[in-house]
C-alpha cells in the first residue's frame, strides 16, 4: 500500500489524499439519487454524491498530493472539507454548512512516482506495478481495490518466476467471492434485500441469527440498518478482533462520531459474548 516506500528503499510513491464527507440525507432534502458534480474550472474531474441507503450520504473526493512521512491514518484538513462543500453548493439549492458535516475521512492513494515533482497527482496512472528490487524483494503497488485479485496474481506470479518456485497455474480468476451467486439465486434467498446486498448467500445465516434471538435483529444505532447480528457475525466469521474492526472496518458505523459513541458499548458486549463462547452459529 501507500507505506511501501518506507519498507523498500527503491520504491518511490507520490501519495495523494482523497477525502470524503459524511452528510445526513435529510439535510439534502432526502436525496436518494447519486450525483456527479463537475468541479468548477476542471475539464474531467467530478465530486460524487453517493446516498448509502442508510440515512447517510458520502461526498467526495479530493485528490491532493501529500509530502513527508506517511501517517497510519491521514488527517482531514478543513480545506478539503471547505472544497467539497463549495462544489456541492455549486449544484444544489440547499445550503450546507460545516455543522452539517457529521463525519469526514481520508485515505492516501499509493500512486507510483512516475513524473518527477511536476504534474498533478490526479494525472498519475492508477494502474498497479510489480517491482523487483536488487535485494530480491517483490513489491506490488498502485492499483485499484477493484483489481485486487489481478494485483495479487501478478505479484505472486512474479515471485514464483523470480525464485523458480514449484506452483501450479493461478486459479484466482475462477474462485468466486464468499457469498457470490447468480442474481436469480440471490433474489430467491430468504433474507432482507439489504442483507443480501452485503452478504450474498450468507445473508440467510445472518438473518437466522436474528430470528433465533430477536434482540440480535435490533439495530446497533437507532435509525441505522446495521444489526447486532451483523456485529456478532463479524466476530465469528469475518475475523473482527476489536471494536475498531467492528465499527470502522466490517461496518461503517464509526464514520459518524455520534453514532460511534452510541455503538461502542454494543460492540464491547458483542466481543465479550463471542469470547465467552455463547452458543449459536
Ligand atoms: C482516497 C482513495 C480513493 C480510492 N478510490 C478507489 C476507487 O474508486 N476504486 C478502486 O478500485 N480503488 C480505489 N482506491 C485504491 C485502492 O484503495 C488501493 O489502490 C488499494 O487499497 C491498494 O491495495 P494494497 O493492498 O496495495 O494496499 P492497502 O489496501 O493499503 O493494504 C496495505 C496493508 O498493509 C498494511 N501494512 C502497512 N505497513 C505494514 C507493515 N510494516 N507491516 C504489516 N502490514 C503493514 C496496512 O495496514 C494495510 O492493511 C482508492 C484509494 C484511496 C486512498
> For residue 277, is it left (φ>0), alpha (ψ between -120 and 50) or beta?
left
How many Cβ atoms are within 10 Å of 148's Cβ, its own excluded?
Answer: 13
**264 in a domain, yes or no?**
yes
pLDDT band of 279, cuts 50, 70, 90:
very low
> Region 80-108: what's the mean pLDDT?
95
C-beta of 61 in contact with ligand 1 (< 6 A): yes
**131 in a domain, yes or no?**
no
The answer on 120 and 17 residing in a single domain is yes
Q: Which ligand 1 atom is at minimum distance from the Cα of 148?
A: 23
Q: Are 86 and 9 in contact (CB under 8 A)?
A: no
Instruction: For residue 2, report the distance from its CA to the centre of ligand 1, in Å.
Output: 7
Of the candidates 245, 244, 201, 203, the one whose C-alpha atom is nearest the C-alpha of residue 225 is 203
Each residue of 101-116: pLDDT tens digit? Answer: 999 999 999 988 876 5
The answer on 84 and 12 residing in a single domain is yes
The answer on 115 and 33 residing in a single domain is yes
Domain count, the chain: 2
C-beta of 107 in contact with ligand 1 (< 6 A): yes
Sequence-ordered list of residues with C-beta below 8 angstroms from that of 131, at least 6 positions apart, any chain: 8, 10, 11, 138, 139, 140, 141
Instruction: For residue 110, report the distance from its CA to the centre of ligand 1, in Å.
Output: 7
The answer on 191 and 120 residing in a single domain is no
CA distance 201 to 216: 19
Instruction: For residue 128, report the distance from its CA to the centre of ligand 1, in Å.
Output: 11
Q: Is the pLDDT of residue 239 over 70?
A: yes
Predicted local distance difference test score (pLDDT) of residue 150: 93
**140 in a domain, yes or no?**
no
C-beta of 18 in contact with ligand 1 (< 6 A): yes
- What ipTM was predicted for this assembly? 0.96
Q: Is the pLDDT of residue 117 over 90?
A: no
Last residue of a domain, one of 85, 105, 124: 124
The answer on 189 and 90 residing in a single domain is no
Q: What is the mean pLDDT of the chain?
A: 92
Name the one residue in this structure whose C-alpha cell is 518506507. Answer: 6
Q: Give me the CATH number covering residue 220.
A: 1.10.8
Last residue of a domain, one of 124, 146, 161: 124
Burial 200-217 (b: 16+ CB within 10 A, else e): bbbbebbbbbbeeeeebb
The answer on 118 and 43 residing in a single domain is yes
Predicted local distance difference test score (pLDDT) of residue 113: 83
C-beta of 4 in contact with ligand 1 (< 6 A): no
**156 in a domain, yes or no?**
no
Among 17, 145, 156, say which to mutate for ligand 1: greatest number of ligand atoms within 8 Å of CB: 145
Q: 267 exposed, middle or buried (CB, 10 Å; 0-12, 13-18, 19+)?
A: buried
Among 2, 3, 108, 124, say which to mutate for ligand 1: greatest number of ligand atoms within 8 Å of CB: 3
pLDDT band of 280, cuts 50, 70, 90:
very low
Task: Please state at what angle helix 228-237 crosses helix 203-212, rounded to 10 degrees.
Answer: 120
Predicted local distance difference test score (pLDDT) of residue 9: 84
The answer on 38 and 114 residing in a single domain is yes
The answer on 114 and 29 residing in a single domain is yes
Q: Cell for 80?
A: 478539503
CA distance 193 to 24: 22
Task: Please state at what angle helix 228-237 crosses helix 257-276, rounded to 10 degrees.
Answer: 50
Q: Is the pLDDT of residue 36 over 60?
A: yes
**130 in a domain, yes or no?**
no
Each residue of 175-225: pLDDT tens digit? Answer: 999 999 999 999 999 999 999 999 999 999 999 999 999 999 999 999 999
C-beta of 108 in contact with ligand 1 (< 6 A): yes
Q: Give me the CATH number covering residue 25.
A: 3.30.9.10
CA distance 4 to 61: 23
**49 in a domain, yes or no?**
yes
**73 in a domain, yes or no?**
yes
Last residue of a domain, one of 124, 150, 170: 124
Q: Which domain holds residue 238?
A: 183-276
**162 in a domain, yes or no?**
no
Amino acid at each position: 500500500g501507500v507505506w511501501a516506500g518506507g519498507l523498500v528503499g527503491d520504491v518511490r510513491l507520490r501519495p495523494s489524499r482523497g477525502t470524503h464527507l459524511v452528510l445526513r440525507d435529510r439535510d439534502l432534502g432526502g436525496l436518494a439519487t447519486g450525483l456527479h458534480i463537475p468541479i468548477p474550472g476542471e475539464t474531467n474531474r467530478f465530486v460524487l454524491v453517493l446516498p448509502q441507503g442508510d440515512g447517510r450520504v458520502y461526498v467526495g473526493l479530493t485528490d491532493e498530493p501529500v509530502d513527508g512521512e506517511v501517517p497510519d491514518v491521514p488527517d482531514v484538513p478543513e480545506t478539503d472539507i471547505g472544497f467539497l462543500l463549495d462544489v456541492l453548493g455549486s449544484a444544489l439549492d440547499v445550503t450546507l454548512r460545516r455543522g452539517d458535516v457529521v463525519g469526514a475521512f481520508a485515505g492516501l492513494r499509493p500512486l507510483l512516482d512516475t513524473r518527477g515533482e511536476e504534474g498533478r497527482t490526479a494525472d498519475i496512472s492508477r494502474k498497479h506495478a510489480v517491482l523487483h528490487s536488487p535485494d530480491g524483494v517483490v513489491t506490488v503497488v498502485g492499483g485499484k481495490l477493484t483489481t485486487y485479485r489481478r494485483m495479487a496474481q501478478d505479484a505472486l506470479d512474479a515471485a514464483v518466476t523470480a525464485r523458480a518456485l514449484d506452483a501450479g497455474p493461478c486459479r484466482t480468476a475462477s474462485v468466486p467471492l464468499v457469498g457470490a451467486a447468480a442474481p436469480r439465486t440471490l433474489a430467491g434467498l430468504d433474507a432482507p434485500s439489504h442483507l443480501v446486498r452485503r452478504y450474498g448467500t450468507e445473508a440467510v445465516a445472518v438473518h437466522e441469527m436474528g430470528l433465533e434471538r430477536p434482540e440480535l435483529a435490533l439495530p446497533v444505532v437507532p435509525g441505522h440498518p446495521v444489526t447486532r447480528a451483523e456485529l456478532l457475525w463479524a466476530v465469528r466469521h469475518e475475523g473482527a478482533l476489536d471494536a475498531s474492526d467492528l465499527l470502522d472496518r466490517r461496518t461503517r458505523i464509526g464514520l459518524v462520531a455520534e453514532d460511534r459513541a452510541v455503538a461502542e458499548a454494543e460492540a464491547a458486549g458483542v466481543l465479550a459474548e463471542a469470547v465467552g463462547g455463547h452458543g449459536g452459529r
